[in-house]
Amino acid sequence: MLGGNHLEEPIQQIIKDVLQGEKDKYALIVTRCEKFIFNYCYHMLGDYGDAEDCSQEVFLKAYRGLHTYQPDRPFEAWLYRIAYNHSIDMLRKRKVTRLLPFLYKNDRENNHVDQAIDHKYYNPAVLHALAALSAEERSLLILRCVEDKSYNDISLVLNQNTAYLRKKFQRAAAKFRKNYVSQEEEKPNDAQRSRTRAETTISKS
């Protein structure tokens, strides 16, 4: 049984111990990382059950491939990369992008989006705007805005240089804002159509 002292043990030491035969200690890695990996999978897939399946598969793949991990790279980035790849596989198999709950947080580099979205609440316009993003764009926004990752960390996950990611982020944010504003502008028209249908029904009755 693993004691509480192991919770403070460096992740690199735990990995080394697992590779040397102390396989039970892999549970410590899962305990430390399962929350952020599940959240990432959930935002990518938009479904609780799929996120559970995805995160479990991520840790299974990580365990099987632990010997390929390079200690000079952040372990979280390596794990996120596995989660990203498996999420893409699941999206391809699903062949449709579902609407995604997305907890938007303030980002200093994208204040104009902050002004358009109230990050405390979900609404259909936000969900529709997010659904229009590609998997890479969605992953970039999740890692940058939700997980507060640096561009250097994200570059290790998405295998892109930081200059590319900064430009990609701005384009993705602009795309998100455009779709969001479009959804918001359609609301009065929908309301007007509803009133028209109601008035027509009343006039016929």
Q: How confident is the model at residue 173, as a pLDDT?
A: 86
> What is the residue range of 178's domain?
99-205
Q: Are residues 51 and 103 in the same domain?
A: no
Q: Are residues 37 and 20 in the same domain?
A: yes
Q: What is the DSSP letter of 133?
A: S
Q: Are residues 119 and 192 in the same domain?
A: yes
Q: Are residues 84 and 125 in the same domain?
A: no
Count of the separate structural domains present in the chain: 2
Q: How confident is the model at residue 7, as a pLDDT?
A: 57
Q: What is the CATH number of the domain that holds 177?
A: 1.10.10.10
Q: Which of 74, 97, 120 is the last residue of a domain?
A: 97
pLDDT tens digit string along 80-122?
A: 999 999 998 888 776 544 434 443 344 444 444 434 433 433 4
Nearest to 87 by CA among 143, 127, 129: 143
Q: Which of 97, 118, 139 is the last residue of a domain?
A: 97
All residues at 6 or more sequence positions from 131 whose CB lies less than 8 Å from its CB, including other chains: 97, 98, 99, 100
Q: Are residues 52 and 22 in the same domain?
A: yes
CB atoms within 10 A of CB 173: 23
Mean pLDDT on 54-76? 95
Mean pLDDT on 63-91? 93
pLDDT tens digit string along 121-164?
A: 345 666 677 778 888 998 888 788 777 889 999 999 998 999 99
What are the distances in angstroms from CA 23 to CA 19, 56, 62, 149? Answer: 7, 17, 13, 30
